[in-house]
Amino acid sequence: MGNPLSDDALDQLFRTARTYNGYHDKPVSNEQLAAIWDLMKMGPTSANMLPARLVWCTSDEAKERLAKHALDSNADKIRKAPVSVVVGMDTDFHEHLPEFFPHTDAKSWFAGDPEGRKVHALRNSSLQGGYFILAARALGLDTGPMSGFNNDDVDAEFFSDTPTVKSNFISTLGYGDPETIYARGPRPDFDRFNSIL
């Protein structure tokens, strides 16, 4: 059993962490990207299905390929960030379950149910996207998750050779520039949206 994290750690992960619209001109290494993955892959998903498939756009060319499918305001963020990430989801995640969930025949739970797999892929890749954000923050990096792009075009651009993989959302990544953030939006108290039964 773990111990509660320090206030400094909780601040870094949640309370003072922010979504950034721009970044300092400081590179992010491939080793840092691998370190993010090595943390985020440990977060729970249903039957350890791990449907997220990430494309890390680090070159100007790759970022431009992504930016051309985004709204103008997002396109500029994508181009200027040290890294921009496509968080995708594999709707054929069940093909990997004999390896990832070997103690039962979990593949059979999802075979023949493509619509059900879409629901599971979206839910669990979204979870993994949240783990991506927390892993980046834990390693001292900042993110700018966003929608505001054409999913079909991004899929054709980056996943044409793997048609069962679809984009979920995208995010920028780097060392956030505090000058680019807005005032924090309201956060409701517990009693407003919670019930204890």
Q: What is the mean pLDDT of the chain?
A: 98
Q: What's the CA gap between 180 and 157, in Å, rounded?
A: 29
Query: With left for phi above 0 and alpha for psi between -120 and 50, is residue 112 left, alpha or beta?
Result: left
Residues 117-132 have pLDDT tens digits of 999 999 999 999 999 9
Task: Give the residue from 175, 162, 160 showing the smallest Cα distance to 18.
Answer: 175
Q: Residue 72: pLDDT band by 50, 70, 90 thresholds?
A: very high
Q: How far is CA 42 from CA 39, 49, 70, 154, in A?
A: 6, 12, 30, 27
62-84: average pLDDT = 98
Per-residue pLDDT at 57: 98
Per-residue pLDDT at 128: 98
Residues 135-178 have pLDDT tens digits of 999 999 999 999 999 999 999 999 999 999 999 999 999 999 99
Per-residue pLDDT at 66: 98
Residue 60, pLDDT > 90, answer yes
Residues 96-117 have pLDDT tens digits of 999 999 999 999 999 999 999 9
Per-residue pLDDT at 70: 98
**Tokens at residue 184, please?**
């924090």
Residue ranges and CATH numbers for the domains of the chain are 33-177 (3.40.109.10)
Per-residue pLDDT at 177: 98
Per-residue pLDDT at 89: 98
55-79: average pLDDT = 98
Residue 1, pLDDT > 80, answer no
In the chain, where does DSSP find H-type helix? 7-10, 30-40, 60-67, 72-80, 97-100, 107-110, 114-138, 151-158, 190-193
